Amino acid sequence: MPLARRSPDVLCLQEVRAREEEVGRVMRLLPFQYFAAGQRPGYSGTAILSRGAALSWWAGMDHRISDDEGRVTTAEFSSVFVVSVYVPNSQHGLPRLALRLRWDRAFREYVRGLARRKPVVFCGDLNVAHQEIDIARPRDNRTNPGFTDRERRSFSRTLDAGFLDTFRALHPDERDRYTWWRIASGSREKNIGWRIDYVCASDSLRVRLQKAFILDSITGSDHCPVGVDLEGEL
């Protein structure tokens, strides 16, 4: 991603798969503070890069799967909390669906708790296509991980807890906008994808929301970046 050209104030990463000490030398070359969740080597992991100073930051949300696998990193700024999150995948055949739903409940309570203190922006790979408009082939995927009714209802409950899907808030009817494509079968070239990467924000931030975008022209991964522009200082 061309960081120099886009010049984000905050960049959230998922699946970093590296400990902070493994990338510290590189990070010192960039104009960012770096906050990384602890994680098992070569597995999962989240991070936040901040151009400005954060008031504080921490890893995890006091949940075994989140904290063992480095799935949540939080940074506190003057006006918002920013959370980088990588939600567990229910996996083929749904062996981790029950765990995934328990994790969703824990995360929902976590961000609700933060929101009682100040507004929250949480973003990352949420591993769910919320509505039929968010997936190229909804009928073929109803029982597949990331598009089951239970996962979609769980995400609805998170939004109903006081958060908005920023992209849908500004682009409620826009179709064929995806953030993930299967590597096999040329699905990206055909745009047979899923929108599973989100920036969600407290409802109170709607008045500051200027843009919500999907950078699907940026390649190099089976995912593409997403982002928002908020009016005012962090």
Q: List residues with catalytic annotation.
A: 86, 125
Torsion angle, alpha carbons of 20, 22, 23, 26, to 10: 140
pLDDT of residue 31: 79
Tokens of 137: 């082939």
Torsion angle, alpha carbons of 127, 113, 153, 212, to 10: -60
In CATH, the architecture of 3-230 is 4-Layer Sandwich (3.60)
pLDDT digits (tens, 9 = 90+) for 45-84: 899 999 999 999 999 998 776 677 889 999 999 999 999 9
The answer to whether residue 14 scores a pLDDT higher than 70 is: yes
pLDDT digits (tens, 9 = 90+) for 17-39: 877 677 766 777 777 888 888 66
pLDDT of residue 1: 47
pLDDT digits (tens, 9 = 90+) for 147-186: 999 999 999 999 999 999 999 999 999 999 999 999 888 8
Pick from 20, 1, 19, 21: nearest CA to 11: 1
What ranges do the domains of the chain cover? 3-230
Pick from 182, 234, 169, 209: nearest CA to 12: 234
Look up residue 223 and give its DSSP letter. Answer: B
The answer to whether residue 103 scores a pLDDT higher than 60 is: yes
Query: In degrees, to the nearest 5, what angle opens at C-alpha 64 toward C-alphas 61 and 69?
Result: 85
C-alpha 135/C-alpha 133 separation (Å) is 6
Pick from 4, 51, 10, 56: nearest CA to 229: 10
